[in-house]
Chain A
Amino acid sequence: MSGPGNKQCDTGDGYSFAYLDEQTKRMIRRTLLKALSIPGYQVPFGGREMPLAYGWGTGGIQVTASIIGPDDRLKVIDQGADDTTNAVSIRRFFEIVSNVATTEQTAEATIIQTRHRIPEAPLQEGQILVYQVPQPDPLHKIDPRENETRKMHAYAEYGAMQVTLYEDIARFGRIARTYDYPAMVNARHLMSPSPIPKFDNPKMENNPAIQLFGAGREKRIYAVPPYTSVRSLDFDDHPFEVQTWKGCCALCSSTVSYLDEVVTDDRGGRMFVCSDTDYCNKRQADRALTTETGGIVAPDEGAKL
């Protein structure tokens, strides 16, 4: 039986640094460069089978594995939280195979791998946000045949998408899309922002950080370079809007962050708390500090760009 023991090894357990072999990393880095050169364009790549299930972040993991170095500091979130099981599992994977430092603090991270959220705290130049993407093609729901959607992208024929949004308005009086809201990148390519709530879409625009999107199962990578225009589709008389809540976070009182609804009992009890745990914890800590020193509660910061 051939075992992992006889392969070249960096980490001592028989696998290369960050799991992927250097040839594969090089192939993915080339793909990333192409993706950054054509913002929003889905570049096919020879995605590998990863030791984590497809649909569970293999695209993001491959992107992270290709760009991470020993000096990086990695943050992994799922639903905005560092402590959800899949985020824990992916962070652990990188701790084992690359031995890099990890953090839960957005500001400290050099690479943030995310599923379904963009952190509330603004990102900085030099940071990289890696999105896990289940379905990279926003046109897939309009026509599942890739032959057709590739043509539509090539000719920038996005009328069909605008029509589906219009159909929502005709039927419901509003655009009935709440997440994975299609956006036009660099005024050329229509892009799926991954299933982030539309609340997060405006954060993608003119962001100083590099945004990389990895779809492992579908074997596509795309990117939004820093300071790029990302416009969510809308109509003049139905402008794009994000979610709002009537109340504030029950833990940190933020009125500008994305809130999760938490069921507290079986009699209809509900509370709303920040989905971004780092943002919420930080605000709670700051508040405890200012209350102790008799200061005033810090106003919401950073949640809106």
Chain B
Amino acid sequence: MAYVAVKGGERAIINSHRLIAEERRGNPDLAELTISQISEQLGLSVDRVMNEGSIYDRDLAALALKQAQGDAVEAIFLLRAYRTTLPRIAVSKPIDTTRMTVRRRISATFKDIPGGQVLGPTYDYTHRLLDFALAAECGIGKPEAELADEPLDSVIPRVIDLFDGEGLIEADISENDEEVFDLTREPMSLPAGRDQRLQNLARGDEGFVLGLAYSTARGYGGAHPFVGELRLGEVIIEIVPEDLGFPIEIAEVTITECQMINQFRGTAEQPPQFTRGYGLTFGHCERKAMSMALVDRALRARELGEDVRYPAQDEGFVLPHTDSVEANGFVTHFKLPHYVDFQAELQLVRQLREQREADQAKEAAE
């Protein structure tokens, strides 16, 4: 009999690691990518990996991308597994996005806004024509954009705050000193507070959150969103060390913030007003920030007394399924051997078929 027990798993695994290293390197006649090349020239990829990997470190994210052959989900996983081993030294003070060094800032609600509309770097109005100049051997040299005549204001108010005086939009939730939920240290618990929800969405898979956001605007959620404001730029991170007692600056990070305005028809208790959905990401991730803001708003359905009728409004559906590391792990685990359970099912199906045949024979005889 030709049965050979499946032995040698260990050697196979080591060999497979060597093979993947070889594939990752590609043609050795070509120069090897450096981390700084990835970080500089594949910046949006790096931003996504930092964002869903929940750690602001461009070099580590670039390394993860190199190691993962550019597979974003795999790179996010690498970064998360590293991040979880890091000590938690301090919790930063809330960032103030009105003090952001703005590079891009747009609003869809007003033509002109205090501080001005700033288009900044965006693919929005590029024609998506493949640029063969980028493929040319000689490269593209050093493209440079012209500087504006005068710098932007150092403090640029948020568009959404302009309504505040009229009560047309719900008030910003006031700052409180309660400890913020930390999804990376505590298990998710439903119903989720907004801190938990926003952390979950910020770490969530961009594609999944985008799809959910899309569904809310296609009748599965009844969203009528307006981009109150979308801004991109650098903010200062501050912490207050216990022995100092006053804040010190520890970093400057790039973030994208989206304030989405949604209609709310009001209830018996509350007059009609606009409501908020909020999105914030590391790096330049507009698609993600907007999707996050839409889903955040959809998930506020219960809080606002709306019927929870669609998937994007149901936190029990949304929040446990956003995480790409979890989803990827579980879906791909079906590759693992399941032959014990399959044997059990095989036996059952055979029994059920036998019984069916017997029943049919009996019926025919009668």
Contact = CB atoms under 8 A, between A and B. Distances in A.
Contact of B84 (A48, A180, A217, A262): A48
Interface in A71-88: 78-81, 83-88
A62 to B, nearest CB: 11
20 contacts: A1-B57, A21-B85, A49-B325, A53-B328, A54-B325, A55-B326, A58-B329, A78-B336, A79-B337, A146-B320, A147-B191, A172-B355, A178-B347, A179-B341, A196-B340, A197-B341, A261-B339, A262-B3, A264-B1, A275-B339
A116 B13 CA distance: 21
A217 B329 contact: yes
B338 interface: yes
Interface stretch (A39-47, A158-166, A227-235, A297-305): A39-47
Contacts of A94: none
Chain A to chain B: the 4 pairs with minimum beta-carbon distance, closest first: A54-B329, A55-B333, A178-B344, A219-B187
B84 A49 contact: yes
Contacts of B187: 44-47, 219-220
B250 to A, nearest CB: 13
Interface in A85-136: 85-89, 92, 115-117, 134
Given A56-B329, A79-B340, A178 B190 contact: no
Contacts of A172: 352, 355
Interface of B: 1-3, 5-10, 12-13, 35, 57, 59-60, 63, 77, 80-87, 184-191, 316-317, 320, 325-326, 328-333, 336-341, 343-348, 351-352, 355
B6 A258 contact: no
A176 B12 contact: no
A4 B85 contact: yes
Contacts of B5: 83, 273, 277
**Interface of chain A, helix or strand or loop or mixed?**
loop
Contact of A55 (B83, B332, B344): B332
A85 B80 CA distance: 24
Contacts of A199: 344
A187 interface: no
A279 to B, nearest CB: 13
Nearest to A27: B185
B186 A46 contact: yes
B341 A260 contact: no
Contacts of B347: 178, 243
Contact of B343 (A134, A195, A260, A265): A260
Given A54-B326, A179-B340, 7 more contacts: A7-B86, A55-B331, A87-B9, A250-B3, A260-B343, A261-B346, A275-B339
B9 A178 contact: no
A196 B338 CA distance: 10
B73 to A, nearest CB: 11
B1 A271 contact: yes
Contacts of B63: 1
Interface string A179-221: 1100000000000000111110000000000000000010110
A239 interface: no
Contacts of B59: 1
A197 B1 contact: no
Nearest to A197: B344
A240 interface: no
B10 A134 contact: no
B348 to A, nearest CB: 5
Contacts of B336: 56, 78, 85-86, 115
A173 interface: yes
Contact of B2 (A49, A196, A265, A275): A265
A287 B156 CA distance: 83
Contacts of A83: 5-10
A45 B343 CA distance: 33
A61 B362 CA distance: 52
Contact of A49 (B1, B81, B348): B81
A79 B57 contact: no
B202 to A, nearest CB: 16
B253 to A, nearest CB: 15
Given A88-B10, A271-B3, A134 B337 contact: no
A207 B85 CA distance: 35
A145 interface: yes
B345 A178 contact: yes
B3 A55 contact: no
Given A7-B85, A217-B326, A260 B9 contact: no
A102 to B, nearest CB: 12
Given A55-B330, A58-B329, A79-B339, A173 B355 contact: yes
B330 to A, nearest CB: 4
A197 to B, nearest CB: 4
A36 interface: no
A88 B190 CA distance: 37
A293 interface: no
A64 B4 CA distance: 31
A134 B331 CA distance: 11
A265 B1 CA distance: 10
Given A44-B187, A54-B325, A83-B7, A264 B77 contact: no
Contacts of B83: 49
Nearest to A20: B85
Nearest to B74: A53
Contacts of A259: 343
Contacts of A260: 339-340, 343
A5 interface: no
B355 A80 contact: no
B54 to A, nearest CB: 9
A48 B187 CA distance: 9
A50 interface: yes
A81 B337 CA distance: 11
A273 B343 CA distance: 12
Contacts of A4: 82, 85
